[in-house]
Amino acid sequence: MRLYKQSLSVFLRDRKLSIPYFAVLALVLAMSVYCLGDYSRYGDVFSAVRWWLARPVIFIIAFFIYCGYELTVRMHDNNMVEYVRAHTLGLLKAYSAVLFSLLTIVAVPSSMFFAFFLFLYHRVGVQYAPFLVHLIKLSVLYFGLSLAAGAMLGMAMAARLRSNRLAVYTLTTGFMLLNTTFTDAPFRVPYLVFNSYLVERALYYIKDFLTLVPHQLGSYFAIYPIYGFPMEPVRWVVAVFWVLFPLTLVLVECFTRRIRRALLVASALLLLLGVGLFSVRGSVLAMDMRNDSYPYADPIYYMDRPRQDYAGYEAGFAIEAYRMDLTVSNELHAQVQVTVDNPGREGYEFTLYHGYILKSVRTEGGEIPFTREGDYVSIGGLNGSDTLVFTYHGKSPKFYANAQAITLPGHFPYYPKAGRSNIWDRDRYGYVVDLPPYESVYTVKVRSGLEAFCNLAGGDNGFYGRSNGVSLFAGMYDEVAHGIYAEPMRSDQPTRESILEAEQILTDAFLRVGHPEMVIALSDKKFFQAPASFGLNSNTDTTVIMSDHIVSCYSADAQGLADSIMTSIVRPKSSGDFWFRTDYLSYLLRGQDETSLALHQSEVDTSLLLEEMEEWLLLPDPRANFHDNMTEQEREEFVAAEGQRSELERAVSEKAAKYLFYEAARKQENLRFFFDYFTSESTEDCLQLAITRVREELGP
């Protein structure tokens, strides 16, 4: 106790330590005030905590490395170690005193953060216990253990590197840089040089092991309320490791040879255990610039592979029933039994996302051989059996399932789906929504520490019912109104009124285009608000309507929800129809509201439109001449020609759309005509068709 007091006195009396320390405490107060101000202004608690507390905390960790080092190293600087060691467990006592002093010093800002989080919870006033638990865990992991780990690292460096400040501060700087987004550019260099992501992955792997706080948050990606701040089990492992491992390095210095050897063995085992546990981390929401982080992994995966098109593929069988036993721990572990309606076939094809490692496929007669080819599983005959059991585990970088949250939408093949279907559409840059046209019977059991929400009936993580897709959500997620499931921490939660309003907008549109049979009773379906991350790397699945439920990124914005649903129905024919189709949807869904459209302000100059249409038709498509071995000059010419064509395409599209759907006498017929076109299998070019239609309108 006396040693502890004196060690603490040393810290407080040393101006090089105490003045910066009190400045840091003042900084913590200031950060808290700014965080509160940010929250009061913008209403996004995650963003406020991310910007003002989570991101700067790495600098506070670095400060505690400095404190840990400078407080410990003064025993070496002042030649105390030798005579301290001459006493029974002298160095252990002295280091323990320093350790407890450091923990006291760390405890003050940690307690301030903790108190602030309690206050923040009170201020937010959501009365949502998982959010309170999340904030408490956040304060312990990001603002407690991480700071303690910083102090321990400093202490260990003092014990091992002694007064070699150059080495210590070089390592500290490296550690800090590895905890920031600084690494994004240098880590990409191996790819640019060798055209391989292997080294980048390895570098990020090392970086992850050193990352005490994920600093990428806020640089590129938002915090999604369903997930909150990343606090997967592996992060706790890493934080505890970086507290314990330096501690063993310090202890090694305190004992004589025999115990020292035992401690070295213990620290080596700890290192192995840490790396081992880190290696089986499973599903972690990687939100940075690495090629396998969630926004990039799937696009890169599918872009790098030969194009496969399974549109219109007939499975030749249907799945009547699923019995899904899902265990969600560090990743998804699944045992899925499917019952097929046609057991006499010679072979069966299934689609299962490639991130899931298929361990076995069994029938009642035992294990049967299968072949796995990316997202597809091929098996032979079932030998009279009509059931198959797939056992697999794995993860998707985007549709994750781990100890922190589950976001598994029904349209994503996280369980085997009949036949082969595309998962990613490279032309439209998004996930393909390919739902079975029939319903299956599902029995789902989810083993997880989280309360799962599902479109099927049931509770206590057991669900049963019929649908054409099973969606599972968990985390900071709840039923916010009857039949509406959302992230309670979001300010833009969907409401029954907004869903009804969207339904009305869509109904009006379907009636306008003469398709009353397509009217969707949105309010009859369960509504699952998807995290905003769903829309980040895909523009095709922001809203997915399944037979009994809807999964949508849209929320209180009824118009946005209606737009996104109509977008999923009015499918593009090619990448060239983007502008025309976008304008078409605007006129279809918002055409009545003339004040909302700037285009309404002036009339289309039809003679100019005809001229531009002629010019566009005569303009050769530069893409026809594109090839990989173009010279620099050819490439420049290609870019210029494509830009010119694209500009003209946009102008023609906008004007043609305005004329056809707003000014023309037959505008209702035109809307109807193009609705039929977009929902048909027609392969005709969209803009060509528009030009023909304009010419017909204008007459000879």
Partner 1 sequence: MIAVRDLCKRFGRKEVLHSISLSMGNGCYGLLGANGAGKTTLIRCMAGLFEPQKGEVLYDNRPIHRLKGFQRDLGYLPQAFGMLPELTLSEMMDYMCSLKGIPRSQCAGEIAKALEFVNLEERARERVRTLSGGMVRRAGIAQAILGDPKVLLLDEPTAGLDPRERARFRNSVRELKRDRTVLLSTHIVEDVDACCDNVIVIHGGRILFSGPSDELREVAVRQAGHKGEKPTIEDGYLCLTKGIA
Question: What residue has token string 């080092």?
Answer: 69
Residue 10 found at the interface with partner 1 (CB under 8 A): yes
What's the rounded Cα separation, in Å, for the pair 233 and 228?
14
Q: Is 93 in the site for partner 1 (CB under 8 A)?
A: yes
If one asks whether residue 96 binds partner 1 (CB under 8 A), the answer comes out as: no
Among 25, 56, 85, 345, binds partner 1 (CB under 8 A): 85
Q: Is residue 82 within the footprint of partner 1 (CB under 8 A)?
A: yes
Q: Shortest distance, CB of residue 97 to partner 1, whole angstroms? A: 8
CB of 151 to partner 1, least distance (A): 19
- Cβ at position 85, least distance to partner 1 in Å: 6
90 near partner 1 (CB under 8 A):
yes
- Environment class of residue 636 by beta-carbon count within 10 Å: exposed (0-12), middle (13-18) or buried (19+)? exposed
Q: How many CB atoms lie within 10 A of CB 383?
A: 11
For partner 1, the binding residues in 190-249 under the rule CB under 8 A are none
Exactly one of 27, 80, 481, 599 binds partner 1 (CB under 8 A); which one?
A: 80
Q: Which stretch binds partner 1 (CB under 8 A): 75-83, 217-225, 354-362, 643-651?
A: 75-83
Q: How far is the CB of 158 from partner 1 (least distance, A)?
A: 14
Residue 99 CB, nearest distance to partner 1 (Å)?
15
Task: Return the number of the residue (97 or 203) whose C-beta is nearest partner 1.
Answer: 97
Q: Which is nearer to partner 1, 57 or 75 (CB)?
A: 75
- Residue 131 and residue 38 in contact, taking contact as beta carbons nearer than 8 Å: no
Q: What's the per-residue H, E or C state across 537-585?
A: CCCCCCEEECCCEEEECCCCCHHHHHHHHHHHHCCCCCHHHHHHHHHHH
d(CA 611, CA 605): 10
DSSP 674-694: HHHHHTS---S-HHHHHHHHH
User: Which segment (69-77, 199-207, 430-438, 488-496) binds partner 1 by CB under 8 A?
Assistant: 69-77
- Measured CA to CA in angstroms, residue 553 lies from 126, 224, 531, 550 at distances of 21, 12, 6, 10
Q: Which is nearer to partner 1, 12 or 240 (CB)?
A: 12
If the CB atoms of residues 78 and 607 are measured against partner 1, the closer one turns out to be: 78
Site membership for partner 1, residue 257 (CB under 8 A): yes
Smallest distance, partner 1 to C-beta of residue 232, A: 42
Residue 542: phi and psi, rounded to 5, are -70, -30
What is the closest distance, in whole angstroms, from the C-beta atom of residue 14 to partner 1 in the complex? 5
Q: Which helix (H) or strand (E) holds 670?
A: helix 667-678
> How far is residue 476's CA from residue 472's CA, in Å, rounded to a whole number?
13
Contacting residue, 19, 26, 42, 87, with partner 1 by CB under 8 A: 87
Q: Is 78 in the site for partner 1 (CB under 8 A)?
A: yes
The separation between CA 688 and the C-alpha centre of its own chain, rounded to angstroms, equals 39
Kindly compute the dihedral angle of the four CA atoms of residues 159, 163, 167, 169, in this order, to the nearest 10 degrees. 90
3 touches partner 1 by CB under 8 A: yes
Of 88, 127, 371, 601, which lies in the binding site for partner 1, with binding defined by CB under 8 A? 88
Which residues partner with 551 through β-bridges?
528, 544
DSSP 400-444: -BSSS-EEE-TTS-SS-EES---SEETTTTEE-----SS-EEEEE
Binding site for partner 1 (CB under 8 A): 2-3, 6, 9-10, 13-14, 74-75, 77-80, 82-88, 90, 93-94, 256-257
